[in-house]
Amino acid sequence: MTNLAYKTEHTFNWKEESASAALQSLRPLPRISIQVFCETAPVAEAIEKAGADRRMAKTHVKMHMGGISAAIEYYQSAATPNLIILESRTEPGELIDSLNQLAEVCDAGTKVVVIGHYNDVWLYRELIRTGISEYVVAPVSMPDIVGVIAGIFTDPSAGPIGKALAFVGGKGGVGSSTLAHNAGWAMSKLFESEVMVVDLDLPFGTANINFDQDPPQGIAEAVFAPERLDEVYLDRLLAQCAEGLSLLAAPSTLDRVYDFDAEAFVHIIDTAQRTAPVVVLDVPHLWTSWTKTTLARADDIVLTVTPELANLRNAKNLIDTLRKLRPNDDPPRLIINQTNVPKRPEIGVDDFADALGLVPLAVIPFEPQLFGKAANSGRMLGETDANHPIVQAINDMAHVLTGRREIRQKKKIGLGALFGRLGRRK
C-alpha cells in the first residue's frame, strides 16, 4: 500500500507497526457482505487470505474476476452489498468514468474501495471526492485489506475493544482454569484495568468456587436467551469478585445438558469485549464446534499443560490445528504447570517446549499446599501468599499477556527424541 491511502480519516500507523502488529490491534469486523471484482491473481489472493482471517469471520465475502466492467454488469440486476472492492488497471481518467457508471447502479449505503495500479495524487483526491471510501495502490497484502475494511466498518467512537484471552488445557485437570482466574485477578490488580472472567465450563465450572461467589445468574442466562443480550443485560449477569474484576459465572449444575452450536458464544464474547478491555475466557478441555470457534476467534490463547506425553501429543495437535485456523496469528502461549511432582517421571521442561517449538510463558511447579489452601478458602493465590514465587510468576504472565513485556527467553537446549516416540504411535 502506498502513502496515498494513509491520508484519509481512516488512518493506520502501518509505517510504525509491523503488519502483523497492526492486524493485532484491529477489532473483529461486523457481519457485512463484501463483493470483490478483481483483475489480477495477486490481488485476488490477498483478498482471499483476508477473507479467511479470523477478524473477518463474520463477514461474507464473494469473489469475482473481471474488474469494474464485470461489476457494472453484475449490479444491473443485483442489489449492491455493504462493500464492493474493485481492482482496476485502467488509467486514471478512464477509471473515473467507469466508476461514474457504477455509481448509477450502486445503492446509497454501499461503500466502495478501489485497488488501482496508478500512484496518482490527483486520482486519489478525485476518487475520495466522489465518495469512494478508499483508494489503495497495488501490490496489496492481506493485512492491508483487513486494515482498510476495518478502517471503514469498525466505529472508532465505540472506544477500544477488549482483548479476549482464551485459556485451555492440554488435558482436564492441568490447572488451566485456576491459572486463568489468577491471571485475570492479577491483571485487574496490577494494572487497575477492568477484567471480565467468563466461565465457559457450564456444567463443572469452578470460577464461582475459586472467587467465592454464588451468583443467581450468569452465562446460562446469556447463552439461552441470546435475543436479550446486550451490554446492559450482560452487566446484570455479572458477579463482582473484586474491584475491577467481574465474573460471568457458570451454573455448575447438571439439571440440563449443555449442547451448543458453533456460534453460541460469539455474541456473548463480542458483547463482553465491548464492555471490558480484558476478557478472560475459561474454556473447558473439549473439542466441540463451539470450543473450536471460541479458540479460533480469540485474540490470544494460553495453553496449559502438565509435563507428560499425552499433554505433549494433545498440545501438538492443538497448536497445529490452531495454526491452520489462525494462520495470521501467533501460536498459543504455553504454560507448563505442575512440574516436579515427587516421584513422578516427567518430560523435561526444555524438551517439552522444544518439541513444540515454543518458549513457555511460565513454568509452574506442583505446589499442593498453596493451590489447595487457596482453592479451599475461595481465595486467589495472591491473596493467600502474595510473596510466593508462583504468585510472582503469575504477575509476570499478566505483564506478557497484556503486551507490557516479552517472555524472558531462556537458553534453548537440543531437541528431545519426544516426537520420535509420538511418531511411532501413528
Interface with ligand ADP (CB under 6 A): 169, 172-178, 206, 337-338, 364, 366-368, 371, 375
Q: How far is the CB of 367 from ligand ADP (least distance, A)?
A: 4
Residue 4 DSSP symbol: G
* Binding site partner of 294, from Mg ion, ligand ADP, none, Cβ cut-off 5-8 A by kind: none
92: Cα separation from own chain's centroid:
39
When the beta carbons of 199 and 308 are compared against Mg ion, the nearer one is 199
When the beta carbons of 379 and 421 are compared against Mg ion, the nearer one is 379
Q: How far is the CB of 380 from ligand ADP (least distance, A)?
A: 11
Element of type H or E holding 186: helix 176-191
Alpha helix (H) residue ranges in 54-107: 67-77, 92-104
CA–CA separation, 353 vs 347, rounded Å? 10
CA–CA separation, 102 vs 108, rounded Å? 12
CA–CA separation, 50 vs 57, rounded Å? 10
What are the residues facing 337 on neighbouring strands? 364
According to CB under 5 A, which residues from 150 to 189 bind Mg ion? 177
CA–CA separation, 122 vs 310, rounded Å? 62
* Binding site partner of 59, from Mg ion, ligand ADP, none, Cβ cut-off 5-8 A by kind: none
What are the residues facing 199 on neighbouring strands? 282
How large is the angle between the packed helices 92-104 and 121-129, nearest 10 degrees?
Answer: 10
Residue nearest to ligand ADP (CB): 175
* Binding site partner of 368, from Mg ion, ligand ADP, none, Cβ cut-off 5-8 A by kind: ligand ADP
Q: How far is the CB of 197 from ligand ADP (least distance, A)?
A: 12
* Binding site partner of 265, from Mg ion, ligand ADP, none, Cβ cut-off 5-8 A by kind: none
- Give the β-pairing of 83-88 and 111-116: parallel
Q: How far is the CB of 4 from ligand ADP (least distance, A)?
A: 50
When the beta carbons of 149 and 166 are compared against ligand ADP, the nearer one is 166
Q: How far is the CB of 170 from Mg ion (least distance, A)?
A: 12
Q: How far is the CB of 193 from ligand ADP (least distance, A)?
A: 23
Categorise residue 63: left if φ over 0, alpha if ψ from -120 to 50, beta otherwise.
beta
* Binding site partner of 42, from ligand ADP, Mg ion, none, Cβ cut-off 5-8 A by kind: none
What residue ranges bind Mg ion (CB under 5 A)?
Answer: 177
